[in-house]
Structure 1
Amino acid sequence: MRRTGRELLPLSIRMDITSLIDIVFLLLVFFMLTSSFSAQSGVQVHLPRAVTADIRTRENLTITISSGNLLHLGERIVTLRELRERLEREAGGQRPILIRADKTAALGRVVEVWDLCRTLGITQVNIATQESGEGGF
C-alpha cells in the first residue's frame, strides 16, 4: 500500500449545545411560572392514597380531620358548631372546601363534615389524597 503525500487530518468534532441550553432554560421558566405552591396546615395527617389524585389550584378553605377525629380549621381545633359558623361566614357557597382527613380518621366524621358543607350549599367539596405511586393500590 502506497502512501501519498496527503495525509488525512483528524476531524475535529464539535457539538454546539447553545440551542439545547435555550430550550432547557425556557422549560425551566415555564414550569416555575405555571406551578402553584400552597402551604399545608401544621396538623400532621397521613393522607390516603388514590389513583385519581389531582392537584387543585384554587384557594381552598382547608378542614383537617386528625387521627383522633378532631376538626382543625387552620391551626385551631374547632367543634362542628364552630365549623358551621365559620363556613357560613367565609365560604358563602362560593369558596371550595378541601377536607384533609387522616387515613385512620373515622369515615363517619368525614361524612359529617361533607354533609355540613352540602347543607350550607357548598358544592365544591374535595378530599385530599396522596397520588398512588404505581397506578394502583
Structure 2
Amino acid sequence: MKLVGTLPERVGFLHAVPIFDLFALLLVALLLGQSFMSQSGVQVELPVSRYQIARLSDASTITLTPGNPPVLWLEREQVSEKELLERLKQIRAETSGIPNVCIRSDQSISSEYERRVAEEALQAGFRVYLVGKSLGKE
C-alpha cells in the first residue's frame, strides 16, 4: 500500500512565514535592544558640559540624587557614605591597575558635596570622572 500526500509539492507562503517572523524578531531586537539597557537605574538632571569623555566599560558609577542629605548610589544600589568608602576599597582590592569611577550628580547637588565624594574616591585609589550633559542634548 502506497501513501500519497494530498498537499501540493511546494506551498510557498507556508515556508516564507517563519523566515519573515525571524527577520521581524531580529529587527526588533537590534533596534530596541539598546533602549532597554541603562547604565544606572537612577534618573538625574546632569549639568551642561563642553567636555565629553569616551565610554569607560570598566568604570563604576556613583550617582548623587537630591535629598537632605543627598542620596548616594553605587551602580544601582543605594549606599551611605561609610558603605560607599568600604565598597570602593573592596572594588579597588579586586581590580588590577587603577580603576575608574564616574560621578553623576543632579544639578541641585552642591559642588562641595560632589567634591567630597570625589575626594573619597580619589583616596580609595580611583581615577575620578565627573559626568555632565553635552551642550547639544539639552
Q: For 2:136, which of 117, 126, 133 is the aligned residue?
A: 133
Report % sequence identity.
30
Deviation at 1:61, TM superposition (A): 0.4
| TM-score w.r.t. length of structure 2 | 0.63
| 2:99/2:125 contact within 8 Å kept | no
- The structure whose Rg is larger is 1
Equivalent residue number for residue 49 of structure 1 = 48
Distance 1:58 1:40, change over 3 A: closer
RMSD, matched Cα: 2.4
Equivalent residue number for residue 116 of structure 1 = 120
Mapped pair 1:78 → 2:79? yes
**Structure 1 unmatched runs, 5+:** 1-35
- Separation in structure 1 between the aligned mates of residue 113 and residue 78 of structure 2, nearest angstrom: 14
- Separation in structure 2 between the aligned mates of residue 44 and residue 58 of structure 1, nearest angstrom: 20
Render the CA deviation track for 1:115-134: whole Å, top value 9, x for unaligned. 10121222x10011111029
Deviation at 1:108, TM superposition (A): 1.8
- Separation in structure 2 between the aligned mates of residue 48 and residue 104 of structure 1, nearest angstrom: 9
**Structure 2 unmatched runs, 5+:** 1-33
Alignment of 1:1-137 (within 5 A): 39-68=38-67, 69-92=70-93, 94-122=98-126, 124-133=127-136
- Separation in structure 2 between the aligned mates of residue 90 and residue 102 of structure 1, nearest angstrom: 24
Deviation at 1:76, TM superposition (A): 1.9
